[in-house]
Amino acid sequence: MMKAELISCLGTDLTVVNAARVSFDKESEWEVNHSVRKELSAKDAALICYLAKHDHFTPFTHCMITLRETVPIFVARQRFKHTIGFTYNEVSRRYVDDTPEFYLPDLWRFKADNVKQGSHYTGLTSQEVNGKLRDKEEANGLIMSPEEIYDDCLKTYKQLLSIGVCAEQARMVLPQSMYTSYYVTGSLSAFARAYKLRIDKHAQREIQELAEKWNAIIKDLYPVSWEALTDGK
């Protein structure tokens, strides 16, 4: 399961509007009513749509979002490829030696024949696909199931620690399916760019699931800007 938790955010849709209008030394007109959240006018919303449509991304960079994401290492490594507009701080197993958890998919997908990388879903039920995986394991003479491999890795990791091996070396035996956790801070424009790439049907399904988490959080924080930036995807 991919997890994303909102830690903090900065700015609103109105921030985007005023960041754009400052070019003319203007601000959106709105009633000053203590700390009550101000609603955008139709003119403000139209400006946001114009900015997004014509790739005026800088006004959207003044809104910032910090999430804590918890995903398997192989998903995190794809996530960290998004560097422009993002900063990351990850849990380090040089310092942490608690019991790790591992990701095990409900569904094992077949390799796609028409692409160099990736997978596809044939329409079989999860049970049928997993059954075929077990048959393939037996046919190829695989020694252990993924669950058994995880169990052995965890036992070896704990044994290494118990005899005094340092955590920064003991972690070498842990698989890419191990969950990791990190803080990620990025601008609204950076999240939108990453989202459009990772929600695409050609992206790996696991990172599509993470992108769905971004959408669930951010669409409520910046409803007009997010829809304009992501084309309502």
pLDDT (tens digit per residue) in 147-194: 889 999 999 999 999 999 999 999 999 999 999 999 999 999 999 999
**Collapsed DSSP state (helix, strand, coil) of residue 28:** coil
> Residue holding tokens 């993470």?
210
What is the gyration radius of the CA atoms in the chain, in angstroms? 23
Nearest Cα to Cα of residue 9 among 231, 225, 228: 225
CA separation for the pair 206, 74 (Å, rounded):
9
How many beta carbons lie within 10 A of that of residue 163, not counting itself? 7
pLDDT (tens digit per residue) in 220-232: 999 999 999 998 6
Q: Half-sphere exposure of residue 46, counting CA atoms within 13 Å on the CB side?
A: 3
Element of type H or E holding 219 = helix 205-221
Catalytic, 94? Answer no
Write down the catalytic residue from 93, 134, 198, 205: 198
pLDDT computed for residue 36 by the predictor = 44
Segments in the chain below pLDDT 50: 31-37, 139
Global pTM value: 0.86
